[in-house]
Amino acid sequence: MAGLFIDVEVDDSIREDAELARRLEEACPVDIYADAGGRVEIVEANLDECVLCELCLGAAPAGTVRVRKLYDGTELKGGASA
């Protein structure tokens, strides 16, 4: 399920990555990511709080995290470092 304005997708390849779960939880200022015992979990209740800061994209390998702006059909994706 998505937020009204924002949806966040993480690739299956990183869902079970404990290090990335920790990093994403730390990176997001509005707690959209939770480290669920070493698993990346999306906190759906917080999705629409996204401030498009791209910190999550920088915390994960390129292309593994996508922030979709449902209101204009575009998305942020990237990931400068692994």
Is position 10 an interface residue for ligand SF4 (rule: CB under 6 A)?
no
How far is C-alpha 67 from the geometric centre of its chain's CA atoms? 7
Output the 3-class SS for 10-55: ECHHHHCCHHHHHHHHHHCCCCCEEECCCCEEECHHHHHHCCCCCH
Residue 53 sits in the site that holds ligand SF4 (CB under 6 A): yes
Residue 14 as a binder of ligand SF4 (CB under 6 A): the answer is no
Q: Map residue 65 onto helix, strand or coil.
A: strand
Rounded to whole angstroms, how far apart are CA atoms 73 and 82? 26
What is the contact mask toward ligand SF4 in residues 26 to 45, using x (rule: CB under 6 A)? -xxxx-x-------------
Give me the least distance between CB of 2 and ligand SF4, in Å please: 13
Q: Under rule CB under 6 A, how many of the chain's residues touch ligand SF4? A: 14
Is there binding between residue 80 and ligand SF4 (CB under 6 A)? no
The yes or no reply on residue 55 touching ligand SF4 (CB under 6 A) is yes
